[in-house]
Every structure is written in structure tokens, then in C-alpha cells.
Structure 1
Amino acid sequence: MKTTAQRRRSSVPALAISVLLAACAAAFDEPLAHAGGNDPWPPAWQDAPAPTEFMPPAFDPPSASDCHRPPTTREVPGGGFEPQGLARHKGALADARGDASGVAAERSAKPVLSLVEGSAAPATDAAPMPSAPWAQPQPAPQRPLRETVTAGMVDDNADFGEYLAYRQRHAGMPVRERDISERYLLEVTDASGHPVHDAEVAVQRAGVAQAVMWARTDTAGRVWLHPRAFLSPSWAGERVLGVAVRKGAMQSRALLRRGQAQAVQVRLADDAAGARPRLDLVFLVDATGSMGDEIAKLKASMHAVAQQISQLPGQPDTCYGLVAYRDRGDAFLTRSHDFTDDLGAFRQQLARVHAAGGGDTPEALNEALHEVVHGLSWRRDAARLVVLVADAPPHLDYGGCMSAPEAFGFGPPRGQRADGLGRPGACPQYDTDMQAALAKGIKLFAVGASGLDPVGEYIYRQMAQYTAGRFVFLTYRDAADPGSGPGTQTLHDVKQYSVQTLDRLIVRLVGEEMARLRRG
């Protein structure tokens, strides 16, 4: 039984609630004056902030007008760190001193191959120890110095059902997962039915101006949209999304009804055809010790590749860029050379890249991809392609940047928030930057060099599929023996793939992109 004091204390909350309700009723009976008499009333409810991994990435749209300049170089030092106690300083010291013996101690054994018949690559020694159950050590066969390289290619968007089955077979991989199982095609054409290249695309929630996803159409006027990859789980139940499309002064809108089978089609006014197609082509190269052969192949074949690209229909106006990367604790983390149309100068920069450093399997691919997407001067109205040549996945074991992000070159894009994840000090992550790549209209063609483990294959295919690129991989006469010479077999989990020499395959992929551009 309550005492009188207890009854008095219990009546206080009830009294407060009564006073509050009365005040609210009075407020609705007589509107209060407020600043900004033209403000909408009632005010819009504010959405709860989305988890940071579902925020659209920060980026600057492509804005450069040309690349008629010598290449400029920007280097982010490796910092001398030894994450998780790994002894990685030998490779950095050997690189700084030009000590070939120190470099060789950190290189994995690989077959000596070349992209183009008649070119040579230096031999390697010392196979690496696998650092994860997915890593597969490679044998060290004795190979002739002159031999072509064959490679396979799969288009995971063309055979999407098989790609989903592949992901299911490899569920549980230590990767940054994005759910791409729900997919829709957006097609943008002009009034005459021609595809509109490089149209800006914003996907929106109903009644909310802020975009939840950005993209740019490719040379075929197309974009693949994956709502579950960019929608917060709290918004997963929304059945209709808005799609706004803009190219110059032309704008249009459409609705994406989730579950629809047909493509989302948007039509703009007539788009003027360009007089000469533009191509921005970047080579993103793993320059750690295990990549000596691949770097030698790229150097040997670069002239032939560039010559074949220059002879494509329309003779594209081509800008070349290069980003080499290693890892923390090495002589450099990333070394980037911005776009130039001076092929001779570009080849000189490529000639200075050599393999050294490394030490563990993962490398600084996160940081390098961030530099490619945000640090280079991408042009307006260009086909934007990245050819990644690497044999290892990115580091996913770093909890955060070991210093201020600006020290590693991960400052915000101009006029944007602190980083692609919206968190000051957060390290770049490949899944966020593959979304930023799509926002800038950049396609990733990921070439898996010999020794790429299943985790690396999964991540490379993630990046390629999301940006509508391709996964490319080396092939051999005997899949279990990379020293068996060129052939059609591979250890990668792929089906229905085509095989060509690697240099011709790269030119073919570039040619397919450029052939779809409308020319005047």
C-alpha cells in the first residue's frame, strides 16, 4: 500500500504529461510564428542516417578537357610500417638501393613468359609461402625465354546466372561483400534511338532529393543497377526507385519498379556525335616482388598494344595513365603518373617500374584503386578503362589508416567529404571505390596473373562485374602446371571462356568499347 509521499511522487509524471499534452493541443489550435514564413509546413520528417557503408561515395565528376602534357608523378611513401610483425623492410631497402639480390629474395617463382612472341622476361626465384588457406604455391618450372602468353576472359554480366552460382560456391570468403543478386539494366538513348554515352545517372528514393547511387552510362548507353548493393537494409522494402538522367542540358526521368523484368529505358533529346572518340586508358600494376615477369611482359608489349589501339576505327584520341603500387613498409605505397598523350613519355615512366618489396600475400590494392578513381585527371566524354594487372588481393586486415589519411594521399576529393566512406581517417576500401568508379563511368578489366588465389579471383570479379568490365586470367597447356606453356586450361573457377594471346585480348576489349561510340 502506497504512502501519501509515494502517491505524491507518482503523480508528478502524470501531471507533467498532462501539461505537455495541453501545450501541444494549444499549439495546434493556434499556429506559432516561426522564422522563414515560406518554409513548407508541416516540415518533412528526417530519415535516420544510413549506415556509412550504404552512403553514396564521394567523387568529382570527370572534368579534364585534354591530356596534352608531360606525365606528372605523385608518390605516396610506404612509410616503413611492418603490419602484424611482418619483416618487409628488406624489399624496401633493396628497392631503394637497386640491390637485385635483395629483390630476388622476396620474389615468387613464375614461368618466364612474354606477352608478344619474341620478347623476353627475366627469370625469378624463391617461391613465397602461402599466407592463407586459399593461397596456392606455384611451382618453379624452367621455361624458355621467349614465349607467348595466352589468357582467358569471362563476362560475368553476360552469364549472370553462372556468376551467381560461382558466388554461392564460394560463400564465406573473407571479402567485403555487396549483394548484387538483384540487377536491372538501364538503357539511355537519344530521340533517334542512338545510345547516349557518358550520361550522368542518379538513383533516388521516393520524395528524397539526395541520390542513393550514382553512375554514368558506358559507350553503349547502358548501366547495370544493383539496389541491394547500395540501399540500406532499412530501405530495402521500397518497391519503386526514381532514376534521373542528365547529359549536358538534356534531362529525363524514369521509374524503376523492383521486380520488373524489362530494362529501364530513358530517352533524351538528340545527342551530337563526337568527331573523334576519346579513350582514357590506365594501367594499374602490382609492382611487388612477385610481379617481375608480368611487368616485363607489359613493358615489352606496350608499343604493340598502343599501335593496335591507335589503328582502331575512328583512331581514338588516347590518354595513357599509370599507377603502380606495393604495400606498407615498402619504398612506396602508390606511384601514379597522370594522363598524357605522349606515348613515348608514358613508356619511359613504365620502363622505370620494377618489381620489389611485398612480403605477405595481400597488397595495397585498396589504396591504389582509390588513387586511380580519385587522383587522376579523367576527361569528359571519354571511354574510361582501367587494366589491372596483379596477382594478389587487397589488404582487408587493416583496422584504420596508421596516420592521417592525407599523409597517405587519401584526402577528400575536391569539395567532398573526408573520404569515400564519409568517415575521417578511414582507409579506402575496394567495394566503395568500385562504386565510385561506376559513378565516374570507369570500367575495370582485372587481369589475374599467375598465382592469384581464390580470394583474389573473387574480389577481381566483384570489381569487374560491378563496373561492367571483364575478368581476365592467364591460361596454360596444363592448368596444374603454369610452366607447361600457353594453352586453354586454368585453375580459376570459370566456365565458357574464350582464349587469346594477352595483348590481343586487351586490344579486343578496348576495341569493343570504342566500336559502340557514335561517330560523326
Structure 2
Amino acid sequence: MTAALPLNRRAIAALLCLPLVLPARATVLWPEPQPQTPATPSRPQFRAPSAASCDRPVTERIVPAPGYRGQDEPRPRRVRPDGGEEGRLTPLADTAKSARAEAAAPLSSFATAPSPVPATEPAPVQPRLPLDRKIRQIADEPAVTAGVVDDNADFSEYLAFRERHAQLPHRERDVRERYLLEVKDAAGRGVPDAEVAVRSAAGAAMWARTDTAGHAWLHPDAFDPAHAERYSVTARRQGREATTTLERGQKSAVELRLDVTPQRSPARLDLVFLVDATGSMGDEIDKLRRSMQAMVREIAALPSRPDLCLGLVAYRDRGDEFLIKANDLSRDLPGFQRALDRLQANGGGDYPEAMNEALADTVDNISWRGDGATRLVVLLADAPPHLDYGGTQYDQSMMSALGKGIKLFSVGASGLDRQGEYIQRQIAQYTGGRFVFLTYADAHNPSSGPGRETVHEVQNYSVETLDKLVVRLVSQELAALGK
């Protein structure tokens, strides 16, 4: 670690594009970061979640894609034939997915979508199924099955996976040494959404927010290349604050006590779907829109009766019709469904996509609620991010997500190669989420229908339909409140 630069706190905060966080009490100094080198790479802007509500209409914000020339024709995706990291990339036309996507017209679950603007020449009238036949057809379609693993629960196996594939292109953050932080109230209950700052004597610092159980995983080597022997750990919530010391090599969890009141009811849930909307994702997007009503209904019926807000961020790649198309968090569920109904899979071209840009946009620009909200992202993708574009990278965004208390569940769709699996598992593990993956009757043939097989390197997983799995993960998060 280099010596601290002669900058005051405001100058340091401006240099790192971070907000100046004033101490809760004049006697306590809330730690501020210091640059590790003069050539610190670009970082996402960190702002604590602060939105008071999500009572806003569903509006669309579009980030244009560089290089777009007015065409966005479907192009074959490029996938690895063996699903792994070896071998030459070869084009593969996903005809089965395209046929299913074209045959299945979007059907809004919450409200009737507005009629499209008529074309210059009227299109041929296509025969339409009666509504009751449409509903039966949707019910008869094969379900999308998925499995899930918790890499923080089976950490040794996760580290072995990382070691086996360390040569894959990725952004390295060393998580091999980790410590569990537990923030509790006076009665021993977990304190959710407590702000956490970890700092070395030399100034290296990181931020986190506790999850619904009052926990956060701390990885000193992910932010401190100097490998300090001890760190101060400070947590604050509701104007209360406590500090302790983390010693390298300690076996026990780091525990802090805060004299705060229990989490208020009902639970507040901010749930954002971050979706790769390139050409090969048509089938997954279609299934998502058709199952959304059932998922929302089941989440709303959970014992905590959460105050639910939904958001949608779709992304493609450079040269496509758009780079990012975002709908902020809103309580307008019919409006959210209409936005999802309008989303179409198209473009893509090469294998990696603009996941870096979309993840940064989701973490930094969504109006996440503060004051104890539960913040979750479901990332659905079948390709890794472009690591050659520059700008904010996924590892920086996942660190900011931890600082904002945003937990990511990464969903690997069909065609995700080993590099994509590696990166999606990095993001989920660091933020305390899970890695979810689609399963099939024949792991190497997604058109074989639902089943239990997967090409991913996972063990000891159970399988259920994807919509049920999402509901279960949300339920587990909310169930931990107040315990």
C-alpha cells in the first residue's frame, strides 16, 4: 500500500467519485477511502440507497449503443460448442428458440397492452387463438427448470472451482480469506441493512450493508493489496454506532451490537430483473413475461406481505438498437408487465455482451429505497461481459452493490460458457447471492426440455421450475427479517 496522499477528506471523495459521508456523531470519524495508486481505474459512483418510495409511473430510459446504424437484424450468436472455455468459437443458429419465440405472442398478465401503431401498409391478418385456448397453450408449454447453489455455504468447493479455471479471462478479486460479520441488536436479533465500513490503518477501506439476517461477508484481500494484519470494523443503524477489530486469522465471527429497534413491518422489497436481451435470449424472456404474474402473486402472499417494487433493466451490445433500456423501480405492476411485454430479444452478434455497463447502471442509477429495504437483483444472461471495452467493470459494480446492500442472484441461461459461469458466480458470491442455472433432460441439448442435468460445475443441487425457485429465494431472504 502506498503512503497516503496529502489530500483532505473532500478532495479524496471527489477523486474517487464517492460521496462525502459525514460522521453520525462529532466524536466518530466514518472512514473515507484513499487511492491505492495515482492510476486508480474508473469506479462506479457510490451513493447510499435513499429513495423514500417507488410511487412513480413506469417510464423507459434508453442508453444508445455506440456504432448503431439504424439496423438491428437478428444475428446468429457465437457459442462454444462444448460449453467450456476451450475450443474455437463457431456460429450456431438458435433455430429452435427462434421458432418458439415467433410462435408465442406476448400476453400481458396484468393489463391489456396498448395497441401498436398501424404500419404504412396493413399487415396480413393472422388467425388468432381464442383466449381460453391461449391460456391452455401457455399452461401446456414445458416448464423452465433450474437448480441453485450457494457458493458461500459450500465455500471450499467454490474455491476449488476458481482454482481449476483461474486462467479464464476475468477481473480478479481475491476472496480466499473471508470473515463473517454479524450485527445484532440488544436481544440478539440480526440487524438488517446496517451500514458497515472496514478500514486498515493505512487507509484501505471497503463498505457493506448487512443482509436480512444481519450478516455480511468481508474479504480483506479483495480491497487491500497491502494485506494488513488488522482492521477496524464499524457498523451504524438508526443513529447508533459500534466499532470492533478484525484480526487476521481469527476463527470466530466478527460481532457488533447496536441498540436499535426491530425491523418495521411490512417488509419493503425492491426487486430488479437485469436481462440480456440479445438474439438468443428470446425463449428465456418469453418465459419470464409469461410467469411474472404468478411470481408477483406468490411473493405478495408471503407471510411478510412485502411492499413490492419492481424494476427492469435490459441490455444488448455495441452496434445494436440500444445498449441499455431501463425501467426504474415502481409499484405500478401492470405498467411493469407492459414494459416486459414490449421487450424483444434481438441483436448480439459476437458472444460477450454489455453486461458491465448494464450492471453498473443497475447498481448506480436505479432508485433503490433506503431505510431498511431488501434489495435484490435477478441477473438473467447466457454470455459473459465484454472485458475489452474499458469503463466500469463488473467487479467494481459488485463491490458497490455490497456497499449498497444489493444482493445479486445470477441466472445462467442455456449457452452460458465456463467464463460466463465463472463471472456470474463471482458476482453472486461476493454480494451474498446464489448462482442459479437452467437444467434440461439432456444437459448438452437445451431443446430436450426440462430436466435435472446441467453443463455447469455444480454439486448437491435440487431442481424446480425457475419461477418457483425465484419465489423461494425471495421468501428465504424475507423470512430472515427479525430473527
Q: What TM-score range do you get, normalising by the shorter chain?
A: 0.7 to 0.9
1:200 is the counterpart of 2:195: yes
Which position in structure 1 is the counterpart of 2:320? Answer: 330
1:60 is the counterpart of 2:47: yes
- Offset from partner CA, 1:103-162 (integer Å, 9 cap, x none): 2xx145xxxxxxxxxxxxxxxxxx768797466858866989820111010000000000
Q: CA deviation at 1:54?
A: 8.7
Q: Would you say the 8 A contact 1:388–1:444 is kept in 2?
A: yes
Supply the AA of the counterpart residue of 1:386.
V
Q: Would you say the 8 A contact 1:186–1:223 is kept in 2?
A: yes
Which position in structure 1 is the counterpart of 2:124? Answer: none
- Offset from partner CA, 1:192-244 (integer Å, 9 cap, x none): 10100000000011275xx610000000000000011110x2x21x2110001
1:248 is the counterpart of 2:226: no
Q: Would you say the 8 A contact 2:191–2:262 is kept in 1?
A: no
1:474 is the counterpart of 2:438: yes
Q: Would you say the 8 A contact 1:185–1:263 is kept in 2?
A: yes
Matching residue within 71, 74, 95 for 1:93? 71
Which position in structure 1 is the counterpart of 2:13? Answer: none
Supply the AA of the counterpart residue of 2:231.
L
- CA gap of 1:140–1:328, structure 2 versus 1, over 3 A, is closer
- CA gap of 1:128–1:54, structure 2 versus 1, over 3 A, is closer
- CA gap of 1:207–1:394, structure 2 versus 1, over 3 A, is closer
CA distance in 1, matches of 2:182, 2:43: 21
Which position in structure 2 is the counterpart of 1:265? Answer: 255
1:303 is the counterpart of 2:293: yes
Which position in structure 2 is the counterpart of 1:387? Answer: 378
- CA gap of 1:207–1:192, structure 2 versus 1, over 3 A, is farther
Q: Would you say the 8 A contact 2:197–2:206 is kept in 1?
A: yes
Q: Would you say the 8 A contact 2:43–2:392 is kept in 1?
A: no
Matched residues, number: 406
Which position in structure 2 is the counterpart of 1:314? Answer: 304
Secondary structure at the aligned position of 1:363 is classed as coil
Matching residue within 390, 397, 408 for 1:433? 397
- Offset from partner CA, 1:258-289 (integer Å, 9 cap, x none): 10111000000032330210000000011111
Which position in structure 2 is the counterpart of 1:215? Answer: 208
- CA gap of 1:359–1:184, structure 2 versus 1, over 3 A, is same
CA distance in 1, matches of 2:345, 2:270: 25
Supply the AA of the counterpart residue of 2:182.
E
- Offset from partner CA, 1:485-517 (integer Å, 9 cap, x none): 211111111111111111100000000001111
- Offset from partner CA, 1:154-183 (integer Å, 9 cap, x none): 000000000000011112111111110001
Q: CA deviation at 1:53?
A: 5.6
- Offset from partner CA, 1:368-405 (integer Å, 9 cap, x none): 0010000010001111000011100000122x4xxxxx
Report 1:5-16 matches (<5 A): none
Which position in structure 2 is the counterpart of 1:489? Answer: 453
Matching residue within 431, 448, 463 for 2:412? 448
CA distance in 1, matches of 2:403, 2:163: 27
CA distance in 2, matches of 1:273, 1:486: 40
- CA gap of 1:129–1:472, structure 2 versus 1, over 3 A, is closer
Output the TM-score relative to the length of structure 1: 0.74
1:358 is the counterpart of 2:348: yes
Which position in structure 1 is the counterpart of 2:166? Answer: 171
Supply the AA of the counterpart residue of 1:428.
T
1:230 is the counterpart of 2:223: yes
Matching residue within 450, 454, 460 for 2:424? 460
Secondary structure at the aligned position of 2:437 is classed as strand
Which position in structure 1 is the counterpart of 2:30? Answer: none
CA distance in 2, matches of 1:48, 1:484: 51
Which position in structure 1 is the counterpart of 2:149? Answer: 154
Unaligned stretches of 5+ residues in structure 1? 1-45, 82-88, 95-101, 109-126, 401-426
Q: CA deviation at 1:314?
A: 1.7
After TM superposition, what 4+ stretches of structure 1 lie above 6 angstroms from structure 2?
Answer: 129-132, 142-145
Q: Would you say the 8 A contact 2:213–2:482 is kept in 1?
A: no
Matching residue within 55, 60, 76 for 1:73? 60
Which position in structure 1 is the counterpart of 2:5? Answer: none
Q: Would you say the 8 A contact 1:57–1:435 is kept in 2?
A: no
Q: Would you say the 8 A contact 2:79–2:415 is kept in 1?
A: no
- CA gap of 1:69–1:296, structure 2 versus 1, over 3 A, is same
Supply the AA of the counterpart residue of 1:70.
P
Q: CA deviation at 1:482?
A: 1.8
Secondary structure at the aligned position of 2:246 is classed as strand
Secondary structure at the aligned position of 1:332 is classed as coil
Please identify the structure whose Cα radius of gyration is greater: 1
Output the TM-score relative to the length of structure 2: 0.80
Unaligned stretches of 5+ residues in structure 2? 1-32, 101-136
Q: Between the two proteins, what is the percent identity of the paired residues?
A: 55
Supply the AA of the counterpart residue of 1:69.
R
Matching residue within 185, 188, 197 for 1:190? 185
CA distance in 2, matches of 1:357, 1:56: 28
- CA gap of 1:128–1:218, structure 2 versus 1, over 3 A, is closer
CA distance in 2, matches of 1:256, 1:280: 31
- Offset from partner CA, 1:353-378 (integer Å, 9 cap, x none): 10111100000000000100000100
CA distance in 1, matches of 2:293, 2:34: 54
Which position in structure 1 is the counterpart of 2:114? Answer: none
- Offset from partner CA, 1:417-470 (integer Å, 9 cap, x none): xxxxxxxxxx11000000000000000101010000110000000000000001
CA distance in 1, matches of 2:441, 2:34: 57
